[in-house]
Each structure stands twice: as C-alpha cells, then as structure tokens.
Structure 1
Amino acid sequence: MRAVVQRASSASVTVESELVSALDSPGVVVLLGVSVQDTEAEAVQLAGKIAHLRMLDDEASLISAGAPALVVSQFTLYGDVRKGRRPSWTRSAKAEIAEPLYERFIAELERCGVHVERGVFGAMMEVALVNSGPFTVWVDTGDLPAPQR
C-alpha cells in the first residue's frame, strides 16, 4: 500500500462540479494506492504510521494537533512506466479488493482519533489543495517493518 501525504492549509474534492468534501482547517491530503498484494494488516499499519507522523507545525502529528485528513483513492500510484509509453496498471488492485482496504485505512485513521474527509472511490475527481511548506512524503508499506498479523 502506498500513500503520498501532503501537508495542506486547505484542500477539497469536487465530483461533477459538486463539492463533496473539504478540509475546514489545516491538515493533510492522503493520496492512497492499493496494490494487488495488499492486506488489511497493511491498511491498519499505514494508517497508524500516518496518524502518528510528526509532520505538522511544531512537529505535531495529526493526533496531537487534532488535524484532519482528506483521503483520496489513487490507483495510479501503482502505475508502471518502465516499458513503452503507456502506463501499466497490473499492480493496482481492482475495485473489489481496493475499496474495502481504502475503507479499512479510513476506519483505522478514525479509530486513532483523526477526523477524516474523503474522496469518492472510483470517481473522476478534481482534487484541489494548497500544499503548506511545501511538505510531501511518500509512505510505502513495503518500506516498513512487516505488520503484526
């Protein structure tokens, strides 16, 4: 599972010209990619890691600052561009696998005490954000110790 995490002073998601979610205070935008090999344990592990990362002002975490997260599914994080000119999506999980893991990730962030706004899974979205810093990190469960099962 992969996440691009961006500190944001504001952010929103619009679908078909309708605002569906927005951060009402500074927080983070999480672009979340799910691979064909990801598990529920990895969703839990990644959410805990992001909830506790000290990436806000004064080295605060989402939890300690009471800051919100806007989570948007993004299968393109597993795009493979090594061959040819068209990205391959074979490593991206299909919706029937990805959506429950996306929901589990969000549920775990909420369990940690993070207020979560969300995109619309599988929809064509317009994501707007003002990246504060700029501050962007890439978190991949493949780079973290194996989750406890």
Structure 2
Amino acid sequence: MIAVVQRVYEASVKVDGEIIGSIGNGLLVFLCVENRDTDDKVTYMSEKILNLRIFEDNNGKMSKSLQDINGDMLIISQFTLAGDCSKGRRPDFTEAAKPDAAKETYNKFIEDVSSKINGNTAIGIFGADMKVSLINDGPVTMIIKR
C-alpha cells in the first residue's frame, strides 16, 4: 500500500464537472492498493496517517496530527502510484492490485478512517476520471509505504 499525503488548506474532487467531495484544512490522501495488501495494512495506514504529526503547533513546530487539529481528509484512489518506471519509458503496473480487490481494500480504508477521524471524510469515485484541486499548505507532502 502506498499513500501520498499532502497537508492542505482545502481540496476538492470533481467527476464529470461536478464536485463530489471537498474538505477544508486537513489532508489529501492519494491511496494505492498493491497486490499483497491485507487488512492489517489498512489499519496500519489509517492509524499512521491520522496520527502523523505534520501540522504546526503555536511555535511553528510540526507536532500536531490531523486528529489533534480536528482536520478533514479527502481520499482519492490512485493505482498509478504503483507504476514502476525503472525500465523503459512506459510504467509497469504489475504491483497494483486488480480493480475488484483494490476497490474492496480502498473501501475498507475509507471505513476505517471514517470510524476514527475527528474531522470530516470526503472521497473520490474509485476508477473514475477525477479532477483534483488543492491548496497545498507548506507545501508538506509525505510518501508512506507499507
């Protein structure tokens, strides 16, 4: 499982020109499910992201988590994070989970986060052509692999 986590002032996702999800201050998470991902990885990733201390305290130090600030999370499925670009010019996506398995695991991640988050959760549509807009805060961007 791979997640690209961006600290944002706000973010939204459109499908067919219509905003289907938006958040205020919080995290935009691009989530990739890989072949051997299991439920324990879902739990690990949701806990890691919810409690990652990348928000600033009153002294400007990154010591607060999304939970600490009651922030929101926008979760977008993105299988292209599994793309291996080490050979040739065309990415190899063999490590990405097959769509049915990936969707099931993606939905488990959403359920896990939604049951624990202090703020709001918004999502994209799995497999859709999405247009994501954001105002990055910092910028602060982390890559988490499990």
Instruction: Bin the TM-score by the shorter chain.
Output: over 0.9
User: Equivalent pairs: percent with the same residue?
Assistant: 39
Task: Report the equivalent of 2:21.
Answer: 21
- Alpha-carbon distance in structure 2 between the residues aligned to 1:92 and 1:116: 24
More strand by share: 2
**TM-superposed deviation, 1:64:** 1.4
Alignment deviations for residues 17-53 of structure 1 (CA, whole Å, 9 cap, x no partner) = 1111111x21110000110111111011100110111
Task: Report the equivalent of 1:35.
Answer: 34
Task: Report the equivalent of 2:5.
Answer: 5
Instruction: Check if 1:93 corresponds to 2:97.
Output: yes
Moved over 3 A (4+): none
**TM-superposed deviation, 1:83:** 1.4
AA at the equivalent of 1:88? D
Instruction: Check if 1:140 corresponds to 2:145.
Output: yes
Task: Report the equivalent of 1:103.
Answer: 107
Structure 1 unmatched ranges of 5 or more: 142-149
Task: Report the equivalent of 1:145.
Answer: none
Task: Report the equivalent of 1:77.
Answer: 81
Identify which of 62, 66, 69 aligns with 1:62: 66
The CA RMSD measured in Å over matched residues stands at 0.9
Number of residue-to-residue matches in the alignment: 140
Identify which of 92, 117, 129 aligns with 1:124: 129
TM-score (ref. length: structure 1): 0.91
Structure 2 unmatched ranges of 5 or more: 58-62
TM-score (ref. length: structure 2): 0.92
Aligned-partner SS, 1:21? strand
Task: Report the equivalent of 1:144.
Answer: none
**TM-superposed deviation, 1:118:** 0.4
Alignment deviations for residues 44-65 of structure 1 (CA, whole Å, 9 cap, x no partner) = 1100110111111212211111
